[in-house]
Structure 1
Amino acid sequence: MLSRMNPLHAALSILSVSLGLGALGESRAATLVGYAELPADTFAEGPASGAYSGAGLRGEARFKSQPVQGFSGVQLDKAGGYLFLSDNGFGAKANSADYLLRLYRMNLTPKTAGGGAGSAQVGAFIQLRDPERKVPWLIVNEASPERLLTGGDFDVEGFVTAPDGTLWVGDEFGPFLLHFSADGRLLEAPISTPNLAGLPTLGGRAPIVIGHRGSSGTRPEHTLEAYRVAIEAGADFIEPDLVVTKDGVLVARHEPVIAVLDKDGKVLEATADVATRPEFKERLKTKKIDGQDVTGYWVEDFTLAELKTLRAVERLPALRGRAFDGRFEIPTLAEVIALVRETEARTGRKVGIYPETKHPTYMTQVVGINTSQLLIDTLVKEKFTDPARVFIQSFETANLKELSASIMPKAGVKLPLAQLISGPKEAPYDWVAAGDKRTYSDLVSDAGLKELASYAGGVGATKRLIIDEQGATTDFVARAHAAGLLVHAWTFRNEPTYLLPGYGGDPEAEMRQALRAGVDGLFTDFPATGAKVVGSATTPEVRSPQHPAFAQGASSAAANLGGSGGYEGLTLSPDGQTLYALLEKTVTGDPAGRLRLHALNLATRAWTLVGHYALDAGGEAIGDITPVNAQELLVIERDAAQGAAAKVKRIYRVSLTRRAADGTLAKTLVADLMDVKDPQGLAPSTRAGVFTFPFVTIENVVVLDANTILVANDNNYPATGGRGDVKDNTEFLWLRLDAPLSLAAGVGR
């Protein structure tokens, strides 16, 4: 039975997989040795169809019965001939509710150099159905006894016949695997696709989203409103930077100076409206902070009561506007904790806080307060000391060491600490104040990370340590993880001014790259964006927007696969034990143009991720897969064009064990379907001995023998454009390969 599965292996050593992704410079033009057509307007018995519009509205049926085409999968029929799987119908879920999903038995008679009709005869069909109600959601024919399955229920693509005679079908809407009896009866509930790629975080834990100063990209930073919006957006932690008032209360401000003025009295930067308050005019002072003279208004010169009369303003008004200026107070740490508790009581979400002790050397030497001690005292007083809900961070080292060695032990608490790391030429100010000439570059050396791990559990690293100025991923995360340190990267912002050119203005692309690098958390001014990216990368299932969960109330924003991007390719290993299922589109978080190849052990039902198939430049999707031997598959790759615009219509031999330099499965070109030799003129479209196959979708391939494969298109009935302004027929090609395949025993006829 397995021998009827499509196995492939093009032994083209010139295009060795060890060289990478296929040497297109030396085109492999297979030879057309047989040709047949099935007219587009071919119908089988069944109810009228084609009554639904693209919006899902029902009108008058266009067809009196069931169109046979298009075809999205082929296998050799054990009774002789071929089995072809009909596609989901008329191109979309909404317009295919009256298209019945079937497998058609067909006899093909090729036109060859020796003659032949070049015809395709449609025989009996197997109707896919769910009479035992295995599908747990509503289907189109929900109330009928046989519950015939339609293109409004599933987008079926590849299929195989297992050694026990049952049928396995790949679906794109879920994506799901569907298990049917030999006569088309669904045997079990659709099998979901697990999200197996994972992220290389420390210990495999899901990354956290940290609302940097709250949702500071949408509200004035360090306000209860900014924190509230961050929590509602999905932040796991909110970050209050902490400074201290004249009467010893910790409040959330990015700096102890809340308005900076130049020598002429012009406000250069402000987070509060203090410079507009004449009653505080005399509080303007110049102080030295971290070695720099700064003129402005300082939190430590105001009591809490005085600060509460002020209102927050946007720190970056030229970028983010002033719509919320003057509306929010400066909050205390206690008030931030109260907000977190109120949210938990209302929603059940346990959100954490990630406080930073700002300028501890300045606070101790100039202000006279140990803010690290005050922070622990406040957390203890507020009974907020769960180590799963607090990180304490600082750009200096001495205060973190003091917290680790004495302050926290004396208070009976143990909270994780994070050493903040800035640019390599900068240095912790406690080192500068002590005359230490080292910089942050010393902290991020292997030796520095090892020493850092003696007092902290994590690193709050500038993102340029992880993704350099050229957009390349560095080895920093791997080195930090090797030292046992979490890596929380800062700061991710949506505005294009903060993005490298290579991202094309897409902040999600930057975040996804950081997640692929293995970061354990993202500091972001836009936690809604961070939560979306992390959620897509960590959802337990791969889901397309057509997944039934999204029709039942779940937000389709949680989809992590492009529309109908599921199992375009499905095949079976030559030994009959393993299903191989290849997605058509890229899962969110994976590099663009990389498609996941899954394996399912039929005996144990264990899933594994075999690797990623890399599309060529210009490649948009795959069309089908079939085995060659235990180590290799054939893959159809195509672009999204047809007719004269079509360029990429190719068949590759893909290794399941060998990988290119970038880690993707190595592949070798077997046949260029836009350059097929036809010296006998077998196909009516052949010109000057060259046949091209410019259909938008080519979704069928099966191995006949070591030298010959059969390929056919999906005509997306009733589509036109492959051969001009006419309905596309289904064309069947018998191709003799330039080099024979190394077939496993039993593969082919």
Structure 2
Amino acid sequence: MRLKPVLFCLTGLCAAFPAQADTVELGPRPAYLVSQMADGALKDTLTACIGKPAKRTQFSISHRGAPLQFPEHTEEGYRAAALMGAGILECDVTFTKDKELVCRHSQNDLHTTTNILTTDLASKCTQTFTAASGDTPASADCRTSDLTLAEFKSLQGKMDSADKSATTPEAYQKGTAPWRTELYAGTGTLMTHEASIRLFKDLGVKFTPELKAPEVEMPFDGFTQAAYAQKLIDDYKAAGIPPEDVYPQSFNLEDVLYWIENEPDYGKQAIYLEGRRDIDPANPETFSPSMAELKAMGVNYLAPPLFALLAQEDGKIVPSAYAKAAREAGLELIAWSLERSGPLSSGGGWYYQTVNDAIDGDGKLYEVVDVLARQVGVKGIFSDWPATTSFYASCLGLE
């Protein structure tokens, strides 16, 4: 039976797709990554799955949409992520001057993620554009808290980048990394938190909003940190979203504990994002609070960067002491973020720092994913290009 097509618009163009909420299209990247792998059992397994239908999976978590190719935290990027099989989508949450919640990676990134510097709103920035001069790089500081919600919504998202050698605002807003693309940057529809909830619900995915640390002093015009954390949850209640579909996140342990105490139905799925810079993943004595202490506080989910979960032994990538301690304490683990480092020919950089010597090209990416999935036992992986993780999860039968 031929399915009746439905229409949705992406970057201003409408295309027909089958009328199924779980339609998944992976594109060529997973096959490319598999082709770069060394011969072995894992490559054979993944090769056998190339071209087969993929499914939506909660193992595949969209990081900021699909920012490998689309402006982050935009409707276009979110739609692309859902089409690539991400079962959970992320809205990083911050607030405007009139204390409305919007999707941005940080409160002060408008100068690198939107066109604000070339609009009349540039004059409202905390710091207007300053041209590069001598050894001093170009700079700007434009915050969501500088604008009302209406002003924020008038902006257009762009690829996150800045040319620090620029002498004009127009030039400053360029600088996209060569391994990203401007191909889909012609539109970039910014999203409020409420609008993201409506969109994600329509796309049939679950929700992982991250409460971002404010750049302004709190309370902000009477808006306290607790009110900020509560407002995030209230948006899901108002939209009728079941608590089990929401995974609120924060790098601030106090936010997570607030949800655990005041919104326990949501708090039991709250994710504590690991941001403690003094932790050595190989040395449990540096874990403070300890994994057991976090669990005793009611924390059930811990999300560290990729490198914290990995170690290297005899040239092989293996689970770290951090990963083992977390699992022994009963904590569920989520890793971030794949596809954020560019080509892996030089070791992968910051995200792979504990295993850089074992990373010699893009063919290692699925080896990393496999260790995280089958040895560490992560529940999911954030990715800037969700097709990569959706392919792996579908091939291995992960939910």
Q: TM-score, structure 2 length as denominator?
A: 0.67
Which residue identity does 1:462 align to in structure 2? P
Consecutive unaligned residues in structure 1, runs of 5 or more? 1-174, 176-205, 261-269, 288-293, 345-350, 428-438, 541-749
Aligned to 1:386: 243
Q: Secondary structure at the match of 1:327?
A: coil
Q: Secondary structure at the match of 2:234?
A: helix
CA distance in 2, matches of 1:456, 1:364: 25
Q: After superposing the two structures, state which structure 1 stretch, 232-241 or 413-422, moved more.
A: 413-422
Flag the 1:405–1:283 CA change in 2: closer, same or farther, 3 A.
Answer: same
Question: Is structure 2 residue 154 aligned with structure 1 residue 297?
Answer: no
CA distance in 2, matches of 1:424, 1:210: 24
Instruction: Find 1:467's aligned residue among 288, 304, 310.
Output: 310
Which residue identity does 2:329 align to in structure 1? A
Flag the 1:382–1:536 CA change in 2: closer, same or farther, 3 A.
Answer: same
Aligned to 1:512: 370
Instruction: Find 2:294's aligned residue among 452, 455, 478.
Output: 452
Aligned to 1:477: 323
Instruction: Find 1:354's aligned residue among 181, 197, 208.
Output: 208
CA distance in 2, matches of 1:298, 1:447: 32
Aligned to 1:552: none
Q: What are the equivalent positions in structure 2 for 1:111-150 lying under 5 Å apart?
A: none
Q: Secondary structure at the match of 2:362?
A: coil
Q: Secondary structure at the match of 1:248?
A: coil
1:456 Cα offset (Å): 1.7
1:322 Cα offset (Å): 2.0
CA distance in 2, matches of 1:538, 1:309: 43
Q: What are the equivalent positions in structure 2 for 1:257-296 lying under 5 Å apart?
A: 257-260=108-111, 270-277=112-119, 279-286=120-127, 295-296=140-141
CA distance in 1, matches of 2:328, 2:216: 33
1:339 Cα offset (Å): 1.2
CA distance in 2, matches of 1:302, 1:447: 38
Aligned to 2:76: 225
Which residue identity does 1:478 align to in structure 2? K
Which residue identity does 2:146 align to in structure 1? D
Flag the 1:538–1:396 CA change in 2: closer, same or farther, 3 A.
Answer: same
Cα RMSD, aligned residues only: 3.1
Q: What are the equivalent positions in structure 2 for 1:47-58 lying under 5 Å apart?
A: none
Instruction: Find 1:245's aligned residue among 85, 91, 96.
Output: 96
Does the aligned pair in 2 maintain the 1:314–1:324 contact within 8 Å?
A: no
Does the aligned pair in 2 maintain the 1:446–1:479 contact within 8 Å?
A: no
Q: Secondary structure at the match of 2:154?
A: coil
Count of aligned pairs between the two proteins: 299
Q: Secondary structure at the match of 1:324?
A: coil
1:321 Cα offset (Å): 2.5
CA distance in 1, matches of 2:321, 2:279: 20
CA distance in 1, matches of 2:285, 2:210: 19
1:478 Cα offset (Å): 2.7
Consecutive unaligned residues in structure 2, runs of 5 or more? 1-44, 46-56, 129-138, 162-175
Which residue identity does 2:149 align to in structure 1? L
CA distance in 1, matches of 2:310, 2:266: 35
Which residue identity does 1:532 align to in structure 2? F
Flag the 1:426–1:253 CA change in 2: closer, same or farther, 3 A.
Answer: farther
Aligned to 1:419: 272
Which residue identity does 1:418 align to in structure 2? I
Q: Secondary structure at the match of 2:243?
A: coil
Does the aligned pair in 2 maintain the 1:241–1:358 contact within 8 Å?
A: yes
CA distance in 2, matches of 1:442, 1:297: 39
Does the aligned pair in 2 maintain the 1:353–1:390 contact within 8 Å?
A: yes
Q: TM-score, structure 1 length as denominator?
A: 0.37
1:511 Cα offset (Å): 1.2
Question: Is structure 2 residue 172 aligned with structure 1 residue 313?
Answer: no
1:246 Cα offset (Å): 1.5
Flag the 1:368–1:443 CA change in 2: closer, same or farther, 3 A.
Answer: farther
Aligned to 1:526: 385
Larger Rg: 1
Per-residue CA deviations over 1:566-625 (Å, capped at 9, x if unaligned) read xxxxxxxxxxxxxxxxxxxxxxxxxxxxxxxxxxxxxxxxxxxxxxxxxxxxxxxxxxxx
Structure with greater strand share of residues: 1
Once the two structures are aligned, what percentage of the paired residues are identical? 24
Does the aligned pair in 2 maintain the 1:443–1:452 contact within 8 Å?
A: no
